[in-house]
Amino acid sequence: MQNSKQHSTPITTQNPRPKERAETGNLEKLLSDVGRGLDQYLKFDHPDALHPDNHWQATLDNTLPLQGVGIEQVTQDLISKIIPNGSAVPRPGFSAYITTGSTSIATLAAAASSISSPQRYMLTAFNYLEELSLQWLASMCGIGHLQGVYSSGGSVANLVALGGARQSAFEKTGYDPAADGINQPVRVYASAECHHTIQRAGGVLGIGRRAIRAIACDTEGRMMVEELRKAIIEDQSAGFLPMAIVANAGTTNTGAIDPLKEIGEIAKEHSIWFHVDGAYGLPGILDERINHLYEGLELADSIIVDPHKWLGASVGIAATFVRDRQVLQRAFTQEPANYLEGSVAREEHEENTIEHSMEDFGIPYFDYGVELSAPCRGVVVWGLIREIGVEGMRERIKRHNDMARDLAEAAKSHPNLELLLEPTLSVCCFRYIAPDVSDLDQLNRRLHRRLVRGNQYMPSTTQVNGVLALRPCYIGARADHSQVDGLLEAVLKIGKELETEYRRSS
């Protein structure tokens, strides 16, 4: 960021005293103006926000305005300066990490709820959809017997699930960890490939990051069940309280799915909470060609999924599912507060006479996790599923899985490419190879850097069994097979250029 003093622009005098009250009645025009800006953005013909020729930072007034400029001017700034310099994430060719842009219906639903039902408490149509969409989401993913709660993302969803696990483990010893803190060391057994938010959850929950014992994975990134057995027995004799086993339904690195059934059975055998992180991969169950890999989900005590990953929701939406939300309530309940007293209380005889949305908070999601104020996320998920239905979702998931498979086949058949792992879901790990280049990690790192700067095809990289891989992960609703062809072409072109450069410099 540039120095604010260098780029301060004079405060406009066009509209010296805009109304202080929130605008009412002109949203139709303003939203349509912003919509036009967004449609233009979705053509993806603008340069990257950080392209050296792009001077938007200098055009932004970054001094604190004493007088406002009015909503029209702010809207214009949004359209001309901010939106075109947005993120690469929504581009169809962006396949880095596990993130994508929101689909149009998700954007519309999120915008509507921000005005029409900003909080998820009190009974409104939006809040009705909170529960309905959780049920739809669970049924769509084959876990309709579980109850859910939304949160901001996989990190918090994992934290909430493990909060339930902590509560359950300590309650079995006659102790309430939410009220009294923990009174003995615990162990959480997690695949070595699990997302690091599991470790962070350990820190936040007071059990400590080191309470998470990593269980080694095989060369395909799946937890080794025998290692898990050994670890549990070892820790039993050392006096640790076993709190949870964490398995993946789609690892972040490679999309691997752990042997859920075998792991779940071990969890049952030892009465340990079984958590499945399906933040990315749970919707993969819709692909009937691989749904057998999800066998054992029925044994899980908690499962998470992020609609803001594969389902195309706006970022900020994850769900935790458990058998009975009461355990979450005991883990996360707030103490009573004066400002809540009486607000929704009804007299005994009035029990069945709710006549106003303020007379009932609805389902107390605020007691099932770590957020009190929270947006209505259910309307977004409801909109996504209602728009294209389960069959539409299935088609999309299968399209993405096919893209990873097509890329894998191409990598296997081209002499300059090497497939590093057969895809399970929509991640494909491969690399460029050249007989004369000894440091292939370096070659692929350089290739990746150049690829990304081309602003068209943007995978990320990872390590697969000790080597650097190019790692596209296809989850974007706007991505199609042309992204695979384009990526292959770009990788081969840059690879050849680099090979020539290596040869020249050797």
Ligand X SMILES: Cc1ncc(COP(=O)(O)O)c(C=O)c1O
> Judged by CB under 6 A, does residue 318 bind ligand X?
yes
* Maximum C-alpha span of the chain: 89
Figure out which of the listed residues 240, 280, 294, 332 binds ligand X, where binding follows CB under 6 A: 280
Site map (CB under 6 A) of ligand X, residues 90-119, x = contact = --------x---------------------
User: 300, 307, 325: which is closest to 247 by C-alpha?
Assistant: 300
Site map (CB under 6 A) of ligand X, residues 193-222, x = contact = --x-x-------------------------
Token couple for 10: 């004079």
CB of 193 to ligand X, least distance (A): 9
Nearer to ligand X, 98 or 110 (CB): 98
Nearer to ligand X, 205 or 494 (CB): 205
CB of 504 to ligand X, least distance (A): 39
Read off the amino acid at residue 176.
Answer: D
Site map (CB under 6 A) of ligand X, residues 145-184, x = contact = --------xxx--x--------------------------
Judge contact between 492 and 414, C-beta under 8 A.
yes
Q: Calculate the dihedral angle through the C-alpha atoms of 311, 317, 318, 321, rounding to the nearest 10 degrees.
A: -100
CB of 102 to ligand X, least distance (A): 14
CB of 195 to ligand X, least distance (A): 4
Q: Closest-CB residue for ligand X? A: 154
Q: What is the separation, in whole angstroms, between the first and last Cα of the chain?
A: 39
Stretch that binds ligand X, among 87-95, 259-267, 272-280, 399-407 (CB under 6 A): 272-280
User: 60, 119, 32, 52: which is closest to 375 by C-alpha?
Assistant: 119
CA distance 161 to 195: 14
CA distance 298 to 394: 20
Nearer to ligand X, 306 or 499 (CB): 306
User: 315, 177, 304: which is closest to 241 by C-alpha?
Assistant: 177
CB of 416 to ligand X, least distance (A): 30
Stretch that binds ligand X, among 24-32, 47-55, 273-281, 399-407 (CB under 6 A): 273-281
Nearer to ligand X, 37 or 296 (CB): 296
CA distance 279 to 152: 12
> Judged by CB under 6 A, does residue 252 bind ligand X?
yes
Nearer to ligand X, 201 or 452 (CB): 201
Token couple for 34: 């912003």
Token couple for 102: 């929101």
SS3 380: helix
Chain-centre distance of CA 104, in angstroms?
Answer: 18
> Judged by CB under 6 A, does residue 458 bind ligand X?
no
Total of chain residues touching ligand X, rule CB under 6 A:
13
Within 10 Å of residue 494's Cβ, how many Cβ atoms? 21
Q: What is the DSSP letter of 323?
A: S
Figure out which of the listed residues 137, 149, 165, 279 binds ligand X, where binding follows CB under 6 A: 279
Q: Are strands 273-277 and 458-464 parallel, antiparallel or unpaired?
A: unpaired
CB of 106 to ligand X, least distance (A): 15
CB of 130 to ligand X, least distance (A): 19
Nearer to ligand X, 282 or 410 (CB): 282
From residue 315, alpha-carbon distances to 65, 102, 176, 472 in Å are 29, 7, 34, 20
Judge contact between 286 and 401, C-beta under 8 A.
no
Nearer to ligand X, 195 or 377 (CB): 195
Nearer to ligand X, 37 or 154 (CB): 154
- Burial of 345 (C-beta count, 10 Å sphere; 0-12/13-18/19+): exposed
Nearer to ligand X, 98 or 140 (CB): 98
Nearer to ligand X, 218 or 234 (CB): 218
Instruction: Give me the residues that bind ligand X (CB under 6 A), please.
Output: 98, 153-155, 158, 195, 197, 252, 277, 279-280, 306, 318
